[in-house]
A = this chain, B = another copy of it.
């Protein structure tokens, strides 16, 4: 990078916060899956004002900017290319909880705040922020917004888009759009924050946000439920929704083999009993504010009578609940211990999932008789982690393109999504550009040009390279 740009950046944020030393910059320039690496000057602004100055310099000099918060994306969305031309804009110093408003049930935060620290801060005020996922000890709010993060509480509370009431964004030219109103209703023109949420850093830099808070849930009922076949999963979901409504907070589908593998590979994780009598299992959870809500036991008894349920373990204590969730959350680790697999993160209309799973697995077995799928996911959201491995695992990775092609073909045929919650970034860009409706891609590109006319925001991610 031009030394004049570097000295302007140092003037903008202070020379301590412009990192050109390769050794010191390295942690910012490799993603945590170790698949993506790049080169860039790392700039660490401490305020919106400083982000604004950095963007004005980038705009003026047509320097690409890659925004980065926690860096826990699985798709290489916050890693620059290896040209060394880009600014890696790290938001991590902007990590404050600015205001918790219990009357409005909102919190105003800076983009670099770590998700787990937000959880703690609002819990001290008797409030609950529901976004939750494995990487919450590292992931930051700005990135969670930029990727519209999902996680385990989407069924009840929605994803990051649903949890955000206002944003402050620094535009590509350095001007600051402050729309931190924190209103639940506001029909004054286009809802601009919706554009930036989920745009993967390609339209501007999110610097602050107003987020919704909720009361801390009290009652909690959890069960691990064996079902006779895949069709029963959708019938049971329907039944639980009708009986429990918004108290339903978790409904995870798990292939029997995944549970057995957890028990085999991770001796610390205990099963509540044998699971070999059912091919598929459901981890269901209700939670409510009321002392007495719907009874999960009674709902399951009715489902048993109707033949939708063949076996069920009900948690008798909070520690039982946690043990059941530990089984679900340990599946990736158990899979990794036998050689890992190709991760897919697809979504479909819930009603199509049983048929999708049967047809796609059958097609894959016909092409690759040696494969070893690991199937589980958030059935209540229509989101399946359709992971395909093999033993030994190299067979699956050597056939990555063919396996993904068959999987995505079946997803697209059913109007599904090839990325339910992880985003596109670098990893899925080729498939995304090939499979997405060309008219939708054209409109995305028009919006990108309207907001980022010089094309400096996170190039090489999500959208195609501009041809001008």
Residues of A within 8 A of B (CB): 101-106, 126, 147-148, 150, 154, 156, 158-159, 161-162, 171, 175-192, 194-195, 197-199, 214-215, 217, 234, 238, 241-247, 288-295, 347-352, 378, 381-383, 415-424, 432, 436-437, 439-441, 443-444, 446-447, 449-451, 462-463
Contact = CB atoms under 8 A, between A and B. Distances in A.
A435 to B, nearest CB: 8
B289 A243 contact: yes
A-B CB proximity, top 4 nearest: A103-B351, A245-B289, A194-B194, A290-B294
B290 A244 contact: yes
A159 to B, nearest CB: 7
A292 B298 CA distance: 13
Contacts of A189: 198, 424, 432, 436, 440-441, 444, 462-463
Contacts of A244: 289-290
Given A187-B198, A246-B246, A440-B177, A182 B450 contact: no
Given A185-B417, A243-B289, 14 more contacts: A182-B415, A185-B420, A186-B417, A187-B419, A187-B422, A189-B444, A189-B462, A190-B195, A190-B199, A190-B443, A190-B447, A215-B245, A246-B289, A447-B450
A242 B125 CA distance: 12
Contacts of A106: 349
B214 A245 contact: yes
Nearest to A150: B185
Contacts of A158: 162
Which of A159, A199, A447 counts the most chain B CB atoms within 10 A?
Answer: A447
Contact of A195 (B162, B195, B432, B439): B195
Given A104-B382, A185-B154, A187-B148, A179 B437 contact: yes
B289 A247 contact: yes
B184 A383 contact: yes
Nearest to A180: B415
A197 B190 CA distance: 8
A187 B246 CA distance: 24
Which of A105, A147, A183, A295 has most chain B Cβ within 10 Å?
Answer: A183
A372 B290 CA distance: 41
Contacts of A190: 195, 198-199, 443-444, 447
A257 to B, nearest CB: 24
Nearest to A231: B103
19 contacts: A103-B349, A148-B191, A171-B439, A176-B439, A180-B415, A181-B415, A181-B416, A182-B415, A184-B383, A185-B383, A185-B421, A186-B419, A187-B422, A189-B441, A189-B462, A245-B289, A245-B290, A443-B451, A449-B450
Interface centre among A154, A247, A418, A451 (most CB of B within 10 A): A247
Contacts of A245: 214-215, 217, 246, 288-290
Given A217-B245, A238-B103, A181 B417 contact: yes
A421 B185 CA distance: 6
A432 B188 contact: yes
Contacts of A415: 180-182
A181 B351 CA distance: 12
B214 A437 contact: no
